[in-house]
Amino acid sequence: QLGPDSKLLDFLPVSLAEGNGAIPTVSPDYDYQVFIPWGDPIEPSGPAYQWPPSAEDQRLQIGIGHDGMTYFPMSADSESFDRREIYRNAVNYGSKHGMLCINHEFGTNPHVLGKDAPESIDDVRASQHAHGVSVLEVKRYGRQWRLVNSKNARRVHVNTPVRFSGPAAKSDLLKTPNGNIPLGTVNNCSNGETPWGTYLTCEENFNGYFGASNRESQWTPSKEQERYGFSENGFGYGWHVYDRRFDLSDADFTNEENRFGWVVEIDPFDGTQVPVKRTALGRIKHEGATVVEAGDGRVVVYMGDDQRFDYIYKFVSKDPWRQMRSEGRDPLDDGTLYVARFNEDGSGVWLPLDMSVPVLAENFASQEEILVFTRLAADKVGATPMDRPEWIAVAPNQDVYCTLTNNSQRTEATGANPLAPNPDGHIIRWRDTEQHSGKKFVWEVFLISEETHGTEQSFADPDGIWIDPDGRLFIQTDGGQKDGLNNQMLVVDTRTKEIRRLLTGVTGDEVTGIAVTPDRRTMFVNLQHPGNGDPSVTNFPAPLDGVTVPRDCTLILTRKDGGIIGS
Ligand code: FEO
Ligand code: CA
Ligand code: CA
Ligand code: CA
């Protein structure tokens, strides 16, 4: 057990001068293994990597755009999975064999298809199958991790059947005139894990996959579509040209777009489970879903909506989660959704988003409508517009940390968003007055990226974060770093604010996603979009496996002396 004065960070950092390679640089005290690059089969028996992938192969291969992920230790009794028990009993338990769930956020057409736009429905399917989630069974042999054949390994992608649950599940706003069943998940960014051993994958920039062909009539966005950023060409994927589901001007598929923007629950231990979209958690550009058990046994989910001037949310279950589950109720289906207001005096309020609030009862027809158009509800109640809320992590002392990655368009500084403009971001922290389930909190700005520039601690655009049980905060970055650095992962002692750089990625990538084994001797970290997919920038990890196109992949970090990651 670590005392209050024990040293949390004891590794040799990656220096500024070393931090811009064509392959990753890790602390000299650490090793890494490249794992599960895009296009490898999800099981050893699956179709081998070929570029560009066929739609059929990609459906059975690792997706692209590696992002949030969770390692679920395999135990003899995964039915009674309890993450806290596993941490308490840590050591070797479940640290050599587990299920790894990993998000595949995005891949551009040139990178995935080898062309700027799809030319057939087959091309669209290849792109769609590259998105979503991989559920993998992983095992350690000596110092090497490998994928193993598994009855529960699977791909969840844009065409996988899913179902809706919770208060808006039966809403007409989630039905199309065509009557097609709900399918798929897309732009899966960050993640979460529940205390009952399931994976939460979060749909972020779903708007970009829709477009309007204007075949029948000219499409113009509704005020709701406008608030969620739908446009005629989206991000240029061109799916809507061949797949009517993504055509905003196709009257047969009205409301299809409302089926995205959710938190989706996946059971890693049941390959036949239909993924569940949890409507009680609202529809936003979900960055992540950080789950914590409140002091009173209820389950709380913290969530960021990653857009300039959007908000931070939390969901609190109605009753203690163990009680709800023992009564056959789902803790994520019944509770209250709140949005945060950060007052200038360092206090804060969680504002409920339901029909008990007069301004919402006046402006919305039902709770269903509030949950489908959550952003418009939050706009009405006085929530604080933030500088792009990304990941949220809870410290062992119950402080909650949130990265605010940047906001080049801020013109007015506030207490919680103190820079205008804010090109490099900051990290805020707060403490609930009632251990997560309360209506009030106190907050302070924890770190401002700009203040590190020109020093060995330099970083910008904080995005992925995780805090270990000793209070080490891991920061991953996504954006233009200063001082010649590639995107990177740093470790911070949350008591002293000491910062050390553990790893830098490769040119043109972002570093994102953290999963650890219960013994914390293995950490999985992702390099997303190395070289931005351009082989002339880097072909990493090609120097290791002999292919030419750069491939998103996972790095498995270990300490050379077998110690705890981050120490
Ligand atoms: Fe997908 Fe906001 O990062
Ligand atoms: Ca990303
Ligand atoms: Ca992110
Ligand atoms: Ca980001």
Per-residue pLDDT of the chain (567 residues; tens, 9 = 90+): 566 677 999 999 999 999 999 899 999 999 999 999 999 999 999 999 999 999 999 999 999 999 999 999 886 444 445 555 554 454 456 888 999 999 999 999 999 999 999 999 999 999 999 999 999 999 999 999 999 999 999 999 999 999 999 999 999 999 999 999 999 999 999 999 999 999 999 999 999 999 999 987 899 999 999 999 999 999 999 999 999 999 999 999 999 999 999 999 999 999 999 999 999 999 999 999 999 999 999 999 999 999 999 999 999 999 999 999 999 999 999 999 999 999 999 999 999 999 999 999 999 999 999 999 999 999 999 999 999 999 999 999 999 999 999 999 999 999 999 999 999 999 999 999 999 999 999 999 999 999 999 999 999 999 999 999 999 999 999 999 999 999 999 999 999 999 999 999 999 999 999 999 989 999 999 999 999 998 888 999 987 555 689 999 999 999 999 999 999
Instruction: Indicate the residue type of 188.
Output: N
Q: Is the CB of 404 inside a 6 Å radius of any atom of ligand 1?
A: no
- DSSP H or E segment with residue 543: helix 542-545
| pLDDT at residue 80, rounded to an integer | 46
Q: Is 137 in the pocket of ligand 1 (CB under 6 A)?
A: no
- CA of 479, nearest ligand number: 4
Distances (CA, A) of 359 to 280, 311, 352, 377, 386: 20, 18, 11, 9, 22
**Which position has the token pair 């931005």?**
532
C-alpha to C-alpha distance for 269 and 81, rounded to whole angstroms? 10
- Residue 544 has a pLDDT of 59
Which ligand 1 atom lies nearest to the CA of residue 304? 2
Residue 145 counted as domain residue: yes
CA of 392 to the centre of ligand 2 (A): 16
Query: Residue 459 falls within a domain, yes or no?
Result: no
| Residue 266 CA to ligand 4 centre (angstroms) | 23
Provide the pairing of β-strand 132-141 with 144-147. Answer: antiparallel
Residue 348: which domain range? 286-388+433-452
Ligand 1 atom closest to Cα of residue 405: 2
Assigned domain for 417 exists:
no
CA distance 341 to 357: 15
* Residue closest to 349 by CA, chosen among 447, 433, 446: 433
Query: In the chain, how long is the greatest CA-to-CA distance?
Result: 69
Asked if residue 112 and residue 147 are part of one domain, the reply reads yes
In a domain? residue 163: yes
Looking from the CA of residue 189, the nearest atom of ligand 1 is 1
CA 225 to centroid of ligand 1, rounded, Å: 20
Domain termination residue (choose one: 256, 281, 306): 281
* 510 C-alpha to ligand 1 centroid (Å): 10
Q: Are residues 327 and 382 in the same domain?
A: yes
Residues 293 and 272 in one domain: no
CB of residue 105 inside a 6 A radius of ligand 1: yes
Atom 1 of ligand 1: nearest residue by CA position: 189
Distance 532 CA to ligand 2 centre (A): 11
- Count up the domains in the chain and report the number: 2
* 287 in contact with ligand 1, CB cutoff 6 A: yes
Atom of ligand 1 minimally distant from the CA of 105? 1
Q: Which residues surround ligand 3, an ion (CB under 5 A)?
A: 390, 463
Residue 294 per-residue DSSP state: -
- Assess whether the C-beta atom of 247 lies below 6 angstroms from ligand 1: no
Residue 28 lies in a domain: no
How many CB atoms sit inside 10 A of residue 222's CB?
A: 12
**Three-state SS for 123?**
helix
Residue that terminates a domain, selected from 281, 308, 343:
281
Say whether both 213 and 323 belong to one domain.
no
Assess if residue 69 is contained within a domain.
yes
CA of 156 to the centre of ligand 1 (A): 19
Looking at residue 292, what is its pLDDT?
A: 97
Q: Where are the alpha helices (DSSP H) in 246-404?
A: 321-326, 358-363, 367-372, 374-381
One domain, residues 300 and 344: yes
Ligand that comes closest to the CA of residue 308: 1
Between CA 178 and CA 185, with CA 182 as vertex, the angle to 5 degrees is 130
**Residues 316 and 202 reside in one and the same domain:** no
Contact in structure between 286 and 263 (CB atoms under 8 Å): yes
Atom of ligand 1 nearest to the CA of 204: 1
Looking at the fold, whether 230 and 354 belong to one and the same domain comes out as no
> In sequence order, which residues have a C-beta less than 8 Å from that of residue 124 and are 6 or more positions away?
118, 238, 239, 241, 242, 243
CA of 463 to the centre of ligand 4 (A): 5
ipTM score for this prediction: 0.94
For residues 432 and 5, what is the distance between their CA atoms, to the nearest angstrom?
A: 26
Q: Quick check: CB of 189 below 6 Å from ligand 1?
A: yes
The atom of ligand 1 lying closest to the CA of 388 is 2
Residue 224 included in any domain: yes
Note whether 58 and 130 are within 8 A (CB).
yes
Is the beta carbon of 310 within 6 A of some atom in ligand 1? no
Tokens for 501, please give them. Answer: 């750089």
461 lines ligand 1 (CB under 6 A): no
For residue 290, how far is its CA from the centre of ligand 2 (angstroms)? 18
Q: Is 306 in the pocket of ligand 1 (CB under 6 A)?
A: yes
The ligand minimizing its distance to the Cα of 526 is 2
CA of 192 to the centre of ligand 2 (A): 16
- State in Å: Cα 11 to ligand 3 middle: 26
Q: How far apart are CA 290 and CA 430, in angstroms?
A: 14
Residues 335 and 194 in one domain: no
Atom of ligand 1 nearest to the CA of 205: 1
Residues 269 and 324 in one domain: no
Residue 170 belongs to a domain: yes
- Decide if 133 contacts 92 (C-beta within 8 A): no
Please report the atom of ligand 1 found closest to the CA of residue 390: 2
State whether 246 and 353 are in the same domain: no
Distance from the alpha carbon of residue 105 to the mean position of ligand 1, in angstroms: 8
Q: Are residues 228 and 308 in the same domain?
A: no
Q: Which atom of ligand 1 is nearest to the CA of 287?
A: 2
Q: Which of 217, 246, 281 is the last residue of a domain?
A: 281
Are 260 and 321 found together in one domain?
no
